[in-house]
């Protein structure tokens, strides 16, 4: 459990922890705990945004700062994964060709558009959250950030193969059991209830929509690439977070 928690924090954040045991057992625990790592990260991001608001900053500035800090505290790895995944899938090449494109260090036009779109949606969602009372703002940022990581855990559920024989995807694909998801999903949904306290059902609905988006991306990757990769997992994080922010921002 401790090795898995350490791996989850070092995979999903820049937490300065010593690397522990890294094998499929630890990886499965890490991915199952991904929503917890996301919730902790979201709490840090929300605290920073709320501190800016308390200091007199506009909601827009707090929202943009929240998203920028989130990228910094994750080394922008998930954004890089999003860009690589979109470039690969958008190439319409066969699986081998798409995977080769995803390995390159450069970013193509599809990747640039994907990053810009996701960041704008996330910033808009965070901005909307900071226009609400602070408990709702806190719950929105925590729920959206945790939902993105829950999407990655869902992409690593039993039965999902890896697209490559090596790499992060090969390490974590198929390692998350359904009981872990059955605990993680309701926990994230519970947090989301406080994001829209006037209509509690809208928070879990936002989480569900984000998970559907993550499921769609995972299925598309399996169909086109033969499985998931570390880049695909990063893409599910960013897509899930963006959809959760969007759905929570439009909830009233």
Is-contact 211 247, C-beta < 8 A? no
Task: Work out the mean pLDDT of the chain and round it to a whole number.
Answer: 94
pLDDT at 131 over 90: yes
Q: Which residues contact 75 (CB under 8 A, 6 or more apart)?
A: 14
242 by Cβ neighbours in 10 Å (0-12 / 13-18 / 19+) ranks as buried
Residue 238, pLDDT score:
97
Is pLDDT above 80 for 15? yes
How far apart CA 56 and CA 49 sit, in angstroms, is: 11
**What is the model's pLDDT at position 5?**
87
Structure tokens at 123: 């910033």
Q: What is the pLDDT of residues 178-220, one digit of tens each?
A: 999 999 999 999 999 999 999 989 999 999 999 999 999 999 9
Q: Would you state the pLDDT for residue 4?
A: 85
What is d(CA 31, CA 36) in angstroms, rounded to the nearest whole number?
10
Residue 157's DSSP bridge partners are: 176
Q: What is the pTM (predicted TM-score) of this model?
A: 0.95
Cβ neighbour number for residue 182 with a 10 Å cutoff: 9
Among the residue ranges 15-24, 69-78, 156-165, 217-226, the one predicted with the least confidence is 15-24
Please name which of 156, 150, 146 lies closest in space to residue 24, comparing C-alpha atoms: 156
CA distance 22 to 227: 21
């Amino acid at each position: 459990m401790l090795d898995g928690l350490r791996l989850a924090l070092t995979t999903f954040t820049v937490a300065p922890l010593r690397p522990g045991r890294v094998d499929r057992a630890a990886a499965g625990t890490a991915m199952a705990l991904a929503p917890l790592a996301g919730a902790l990260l979201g709490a840090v991001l929300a605290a920073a945004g709320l501190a800016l608001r308390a200091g007199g900053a506009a909601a827009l500035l707090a929202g943009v700062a929240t998203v920028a800090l989130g990228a910094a505290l994750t080394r922008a790895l998930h954004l890089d994964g999003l860009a690589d995944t979109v470039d690969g899938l958008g190439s319409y090449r066969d699986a081998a060709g798409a995977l080769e494109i995803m390995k390159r260090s450069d970013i193509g036009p599809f990747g640039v558009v994907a990053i810009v779109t996701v960041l704008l949606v996330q910033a808009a969602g965070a901005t909307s959250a900071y226009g609400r009372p602070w408990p709702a703002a806190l719950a929105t940022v925590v729920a959206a950030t945790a939902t993105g990581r829950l999407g990655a855990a869902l992409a690593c559920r039993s039965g999902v193969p890896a697209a490559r024989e090596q790499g992060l995807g090969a390490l974590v694909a198929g390692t998350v059991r359904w009981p872990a998801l059955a605990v993680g999903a309701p926990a994230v949904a519970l947090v989301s209830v406080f994001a829209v306290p006037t209509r509690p059902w809208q928070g879990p609905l936002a989480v569900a929509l984000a998970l559907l988006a993550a499921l769609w991306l995972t299925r598309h990757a399996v169909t086109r690439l033969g499985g998931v990769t570390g880049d695909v997992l990063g893409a599910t994080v960013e897509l899930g977070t963006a959809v959760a922010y969007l759905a929570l921002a439009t909830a009233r």
